[in-house]
Structure 1
């Protein structure tokens, strides 16, 4: 069943449960539906998480808007529930529904460690989402958004694979990173041992410790050496850069901040940065950059920061 269909069913159930005519039979049927598929209960949980935000809307304007779409005299709870599915599809878009329904996800600026049932360990970077699909034959992590670090437990019977829409990264050892970049590519970086990286349209490559491969247009590029970079520094709450363009550093910091961090990349293209910054305090990182580079950082609000040449 598609995610969109589950969202629609969940919204219908919440509408039904908050109707004044709900029966015990309805509640029993709802319990059966929740138990039929883990995604059903997850959809209800996520919708209830949004409930409070929607139900704090001013009553009079909300009722006027709702009554245009629903029959009059229905309880406000039922009206709010009935709109949740529409709001999710409209505000988040169909492409974002799998992320909203992901098994595990992090918010902006959040990192999370996850222990898997096989003994493997994941860590999700800021604003990331995964689905975990284990069965008797394979272990698959669907990376829906963002970046993950994985330390794979040995299991001779079940290969361990991270999958994106560009291809797969199958562990032949232990620790590696997989990132869905904003340009649509997938970046696989190996910290220890070897990973088999395969696109949809080529035979794939083997990437060893200290190398990375980029999956683009369904093809795995030849491995490249990492040099002096420290790609998993974020798992320790750090951003380490060595002679990197300022624009790249600002983009990395922006992914850990709520709101907007704006900058004119061409105007800053000649400035390069080396240093170590704490990801849990991006304002301190911006202040350090302003102290050491000919730039100024302007805070219009906590949610809008502009960096420009001094």
Structure 2
């Protein structure tokens, strides 16, 4: 996902949608608007910046802004120079959707601390199991079930509801499912997805939609779909983690979820190293000692962290 293309956004299309949504849009039009947003990440960025600008100009309630932004891509981008007409149109749209289709109830937030896991049953009967140091928010309405994974990873065992899809969102990546069991691992602004049973559709701006079936996975940081052995699903439940050509910084990000004493890179260029293999989550000392044997690095134990340096 790191190579998301930088297409020039279509301000004309954005304005057309802003104006169209004023006139009591139908469910079909709203779905078409969502498809337009997903067709190019820049489309969502235009709308997102409109909402931010509108909030500043009209003091839109924070909860309304939060609900709207939750439906749009979250990549940071510079604020375009927009015309007064766009700002006015955005105000009208926000006034409409703030009181109808998009007004969501307050999120249910689930968290775990370092070294803690947790299992919960949601309102629809779906079950979620959170790994260490994980945070997610649950938004349910009549048309969809939406989970925003802010950090960490979780297993989702989804109750089937044909007319109300279940979505798991990691930044610009969306996993859509009707009923299945799968794992989503957030690593910085990327996602690692593994399916145990059923099927899921993964939307990544780099590749569009990818269908994953049982025993398949997807790594968004290098746009890679893989076949998985049954024993590789949610290995964290058995105290293990497996890396497959994983950039070192992303591997460290995952390992650090389980330890108070963190691994730390001395130089950013070490991130380009990749790591493969299976590691124990409860033995960071062994992992620190193993890294110099498989990578051109040295690991120095400090008072409150392990410092990874280039090998001299």
Task: Give me the TM-score of the superposition, normalised by structure 1.
Answer: 0.53
**Equivalent runs, 1:1-310 vs 2, <5 Å:** 1-2=61-62, 103-182=109-188, 184-199=189-204, 204-213=209-218, 224-227=225-228, 230-241=232-243, 249-263=251-265, 274-277=277-280, 279-287=281-289, 297-301=299-303, 303-308=304-309, 309=311
Question: Is there any run of 5+ residues in structure 1 with no aligned partner, and where?
Answer: 7-36, 40-100
Q: Which deviations, in whole Å up to 9, do the C-alpha atoms of 1:189-230 show, x marking residues without a partner?
A: 3222210223569862321123234558xxx95x61245682
Question: Is there any run of 5+ residues in structure 2 with no aligned partner, and where?
Answer: 1-60, 67-103
Contact 1:140 1:160 in 2 (8 A): yes
SS at structure 1 position matched to 2:197: coil
How many residue pairs end up in the alignment? 212
SS at structure 2 position matched to 1:154: coil
Inter-CA distance 179–3: structure 2 relative to 1 (3 Å threshold): farther
Contact 2:217 2:228 in 1 (8 A): no
Contact 1:121 1:152 in 2 (8 A): yes
Contact 1:123 1:235 in 2 (8 A): no
Aligned-residue Cα RMSD (Å) equals 4.2
| Higher Cα Rg, which structure | 1
Between the aligned partners of 2:275 and 2:208, the Cα distance in structure 1 is: 37
Task: Give me the TM-score of the superposition, normalised by structure 2.
Answer: 0.53
Between the aligned partners of 1:224 and 1:164, the Cα distance in structure 2 is: 17
Between the aligned partners of 2:265 and 2:62, the Cα distance in structure 1 is: 39
Contact 2:113 2:132 in 1 (8 A): yes
SS at structure 2 position matched to 1:253: helix
Inter-CA distance 102–296: structure 2 relative to 1 (3 Å threshold): farther
Contact 2:200 2:211 in 1 (8 A): yes
SS at structure 1 position matched to 2:258: coil
Question: Which protein, 1 or 2, shows the higher relative CO under an 8 Å CA cutoff with sep ≥ 6?
Answer: 2
Inter-CA distance 202–107: structure 2 relative to 1 (3 Å threshold): same
Between the aligned partners of 1:199 and 1:276, the Cα distance in structure 2 is: 28
